Structure 1
Amino acid sequence: MHVLVTGAARGIGAAVVAACRAKQHRVTACDIDASALAGVYAEREGVDCVALDVADAGSWDSVLAEVWARQPVDALINVAGVLRAGVTGELDPADVALQLNVNVRGVIYGTDAAARLMRGRGSGHIVNIGSTSCLFAVPGNGVYSASKHAVRGFTIAAAGDLRSHGLNVSLVCPGAVKTDMLEQQRGDDRAALTFEGKRALDASEVADVIVDHVLVKKPLETYLPGGDQWKGKLCTVLPEVFLSSVEKSREKGIRNFKSPQH
């Protein structure tokens, strides 16, 4: 299997590349940071490195044309994402634009560009990485939550668009994961709800679920931890219930800033 992974220079993306190679899959590792890619995958067998700005539709078209000429892509895994904490009334427009461009446009452009090529042969799998923020509208990370709600909505719609063409589209929604994105939020009271859970996942845990389960079974939605799916959907239906518990959850998150489990 040939798998293209975005955001591959670090975090979940790098873990997915490693998990794919453990299964002997061919990988094209993409990231906007070409020097970081080169440092991580220098002379790594079975991994091709390609610079890609996921927020640029033209970059997607040129990269996929180049990659497809060497070997068609069987699975696209859209991992690239950014988070900037911010409270409504104090938002930085640059942070708003960055999150919407990378998290939303990046997924839409990538899914669309890959679908055009995959439809031609009647097979392919697109995996979009969301977050439990796809369901929880998290105060303090409202723009990030909005972007991930958009990813969920688009992914489900895209799955409906592409099923008749033989393509599968999946959404993977992890909770807090031990990556640079989590570390940048540590100690920031605005992002305290990120730390409310019992523990943060390891990037390898998420990658193993993607490679061993999602690429094999092709489910529409997968949540980690699994129970967050039902809790999140309940909070979506009853947002007042969710908001009524926010302050206690925020206090718990602040206490967890120093927890070795996060």
Structure 2
Amino acid sequence: MKILITGANRGIGASLVTLASEQGHEIIALGRDLTALKQQYANNPKVSCDQLDVCDTAQWRKVIERHTPFDVLINVAGVLFSGVTGELKVEEVSAMLDVNVKGTIFGTNAAAASMKQQESGHIINIGSTAALFPTPGTPVYAASKFAVRGFSLAAAGDLKPYGISVSLMNPCAVKTDMLEQQRGDKNAALTFSGKRALTSEEVAQAILGPVLHHKPLEYFLPKSDGWLGKLSNVWPRLFLQLAKKARTQGEKNFHSDKF
């Protein structure tokens, strides 16, 4: 398969590039810093690199034109800034909505236009369990992932008649630079309240395993978070009542080697 991967220079994106190339796929690694990408994957013959700012629709159009036809797009690029309501920074709000929401929408839209012509394709968007759990301390990130979930599910309905699948991958906390920047930040304590963080390799294995092969509408890792998250959507007040205890546990986990 020919797979396009955004956010390919680190974290989940980098793990996806490595694993997908090991599986024999042809990879187009996408990121803002083309020089760094080329250096990172210089010794991997299965990987080609291209420059992309996911917030730029013109760049999306050019990337899609250069690499059509392709089989799969995986929208990984994302950013996170903590902050409580009333103290939010405008530039951080804009960055999360631009990269997490608009970047996913622009990428899905551009890929779909190409895939409609070939009447096949698979778009995998990276959401989060934050798409179900309201998370005080990171409200805008939660809002961005709620938006990604709503868009992805609706887009799946739009594109199914054309033979195009859309899957939403929702991991819990993942050991990446994004998680590390939250360590010790009391606003982000809920991120650390689970049993452990996933590795980026675990997420990549799930994406390139059951998600790629079975094309589910959405996939949660761990699966139990999907059920708990949907339950919290039904009774959000109950979840918010339990959040104080979870936050305390999260602060204890700042120094845990499980995160």
| Fold match by TM threshold 0.5 | yes
* Aligned counterpart for 2:167 among listed residues 162, 166, 170: 170
| TM-aligned CA deviation for residue 67 of structure 1 | 1.6
Cα deviation 1:51-93 (Å, max 9, x = unaligned): 100011111001111122xxx1100000000000111000000
Of 112, 115, 118, which residue of structure 2 is paired with 1:118? 115
* Paired amino acid for 2:100: N
Percent identity between matched residues is 54
Q: Which runs of no fewer than 5 residues in structure 1 stay unpaired?
A: none
Matched, 1:21 2:21: yes
Q: How many residues align?
A: 259
Asked whether 1:40 is paired with 2:40, we answer yes
1:38 shift after superposition: 2.1
**C-alpha distance in 2 between matches for 1:250 and 1:84:** 17
Structure 2 counterpart of 1:257? 254
Match of 1:4 in 2: 4
Match of 1:154 among 140, 144, 151: 151
- Kindly state the Cα deviation for residue 32 of structure 1 after the two structures are TM-superposed: 1.3
Structure 1 residues 46-195: aligned runs within 5 Å: 46-68=46-68, 72-195=69-192
CA RMSD of aligned residues (A): 0.7
Partner SS for 1:119: helix
Aligned residue among 202, 213, 218 for 1:216: 213
**Runs of 5+ in structure 2 lacking a partner?**
none
Write out the 4+ residue segments of structure 1 that deviate beyond 4 Å after TM superposition.
none
Quote the Cα distance in structure 1 between the aligned partners of 2:241 and 2:35: 46
**Whole-angstrom distance in 2 between the partners of 1:100 and 1:7:** 16
Q: What CA deviation, in whole Å up to 9, does each residue of 1:100-150 have, x standing for no partner?
A: 000000000000000000000110000000000010111111000000000
Which amino acid counterpart does residue 101 of structure 1 have in structure 2? D
Q: TM-score normalised to the size of structure 2?
A: 0.99
